[in-house]
């Protein structure tokens, strides 16, 4: 999977035609085969753009930043990235006519060790769902799988499950990198940062980390697209996907096979109302 040349050509043409002000892509870091996301405003830098299976970070995260927010931007999205972009569009965070989207029919990306990422193995939507131009051969929708971790979690009782998560969160250092690297966390003031809410105080105590991460995951329930930006950002390597995948499973089973950001214009599970919604539980 190497679309570097095509992306360079498209970006160069977009700049030449005056269709975009910035382009968000990836470049090599200059010493090994890892890549750095890059926000280009100078057409001369277009030649540094690359796209391979090392292009891991979800670039739709950059659309909430100042230097792209009110500009016409071009960007590259994989399947999962396009789902989060779709949600940003639905939630009126970005305007579609300001974007030029290069969609990738993604064959999966690899981690630092060269292993295919777990979320790519389980990927349901490998092709970009929103795009102006598609690169690669579309593979179509795959089946939804509940992975072994989540199956194991389902076998645990409620108390056991709480203890399990408490043990995981013990190593949380409350840097909030998970939140900042999440493309769908765009609140101008996050509830975790409220000075007045004593539940989410800024202290780094175990209870504070537990509440902050649980609240965060619930705000992303029915919206998380499993891009794993949060896990990549976590300095303690916490398996944060467990929270999101568990939510995903509950929502898939209870909300008519809902998958976040797959259909254009479709809202998150908790943001729309259907008569078919279950009412026998409160989340």
Partner 1 sequence: MSFSTFVTDKAGLQKMYEAIISKHETYAPVEKFGKYDYKKVSSLKECDPDSPIAETMSVKPLFFPRSSKIMKYEATSAGTSILETDQDPLTAQRVVLGVKHCDARGLQVLEAVNKWDYIDSDFLKRRENTVIFSARCDKAGTHCFCTSLDYDLENLDALDIAVVNGAEGKIYLQTRTERGETFLKEKLEKSTMYNVQSTNDESEMKKQYVAFAASFRLKMDYKDINEKMAKRFDSPAFEEASRNCVSCNTCAFICPTCHCFKISDEKIKDTGVRYKSYDSCNNVYFTLEAGGHNPRPAKYRRWRQRSMHKFVYYKERFGVNLCVGCGHCAISCPVNISIFDVVNHIASTPVGS
- Shorter beta-carbon distance to partner 1: residue 86 or 208: 208
Interface with partner 1, residue 171, by CB under 8 A: yes
15 vs 280: CA distance, rounded Å: 54
Q: Are 81 and 58 in contact (CB under 8 A)?
A: yes
Q: Which of 154, 202, 271, 278 binds partner 1 (CB under 8 A)?
A: 202
Please tell me the total number of residues recorded for the chain in this structure. 283
Q: Which two tokens stand for residue 130?
A: 């929103």
Shortest distance, position 189 Cβ to partner 1, whole Å: 8
Shortest distance, position 61 Cβ to partner 1, whole Å: 6
Query: Could you identify the residue written with the tokens 């405003």?
Result: 41
- CA-nearest of 181, 223, 172 to 56 is 181
CA dihedral (225, 214, 231, 188) in degrees, to 10, reads: 70
127 vs 120: CA distance, rounded Å: 12
Q: Which of 17, 18, 30, 273 binds partner 1 (CB under 8 A)?
A: 30
145 vs 134: CA distance, rounded Å: 26
List, in sequence order, every beta strand (DSSP E) within the chain.
22-28, 35-40, 49-50, 73-77, 99-104, 133-135
225 vs 214: CA distance, rounded Å: 17
Contact stretch for partner 1 (CB under 8 A) within 27-35, 78-86, 90-98, 148-156? 27-35
Q: Which of 173, 187, 191, 218 binds partner 1 (CB under 8 A)?
A: 173
- Shorter beta-carbon distance to partner 1: residue 1 or 38: 38
Interface with partner 1, residue 36, by CB under 8 A: yes
Q: Which two tokens stand for residue 97?
A: 């006519």
Interface with partner 1, residue 38, by CB under 8 A: yes
Interface with partner 1, residue 35, by CB under 8 A: yes
Shortest distance, position 143 Cβ to partner 1, whole Å: 29
Shortest distance, position 43 Cβ to partner 1, whole Å: 15
User: Residue numbers of the site for partner 1 (CB under 8 A)?
Assistant: 29-32, 34-39, 57, 61-62, 65-67, 171, 173-177, 180-181, 193, 195, 198, 201-205, 208, 229, 232-233, 235-239
């Amino acid at each position: 999977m190497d679309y570097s040349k095509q992306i360079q050509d498209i970006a160069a043409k977009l700049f030449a035609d005056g269709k975009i002000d910035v382009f968000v892509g990836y470049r090599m870091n200059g010493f090994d085969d890892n890549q750095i996301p890059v926000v280009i405003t100078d057409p001369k830098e277009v030649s540094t753009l690359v796209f391979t299976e090392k292009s891991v970070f979800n670039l739709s995260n950059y659309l909430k930043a100042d230097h792209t927010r009110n500009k016409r931007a071009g960007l590259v999205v994989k399947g999962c990235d396009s789902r989060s972009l779709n949600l940003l569009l639905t939630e009126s965070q970005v305007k579609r006519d300001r974007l030029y989207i290069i969609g990738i029919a993604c064959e999966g990306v690899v981690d630092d060790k060269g292993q295919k990422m777990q979320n790519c193995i389980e990927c349901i939507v490998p092709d970009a769902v929103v795009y102006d131009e598609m690169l690669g051969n579309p593979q179509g929708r795959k089946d939804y799988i509940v992975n072994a971790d989540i199956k194991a979690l389902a076998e645990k009782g409620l108390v056991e499950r709480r203890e399990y998560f408490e043990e995981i969160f013990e190593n949380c250092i409350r840097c909030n990198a998970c939140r900042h690297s999440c493309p769908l966390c765009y609140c101008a003031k996050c509830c975790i940062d409220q000075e007045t809410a004593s539940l989410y105080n800024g202290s780094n105590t175990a209870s504070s980390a537990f509440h902050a991460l649980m609240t965060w995951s619930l705000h992303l329930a029915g919206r998380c697209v499993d891009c794993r930006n949060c896990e990549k950002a976590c300095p303690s390597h916490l398996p944060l996907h467990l929270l999101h995948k568990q939510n995903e499973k509950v929502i898939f089973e209870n909300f008519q096979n809902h998958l976040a950001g797959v259909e254009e214009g479709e809202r998150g599970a908790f943001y729309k109302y259907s008569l078919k919604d279950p009412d026998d539980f409160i989340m």
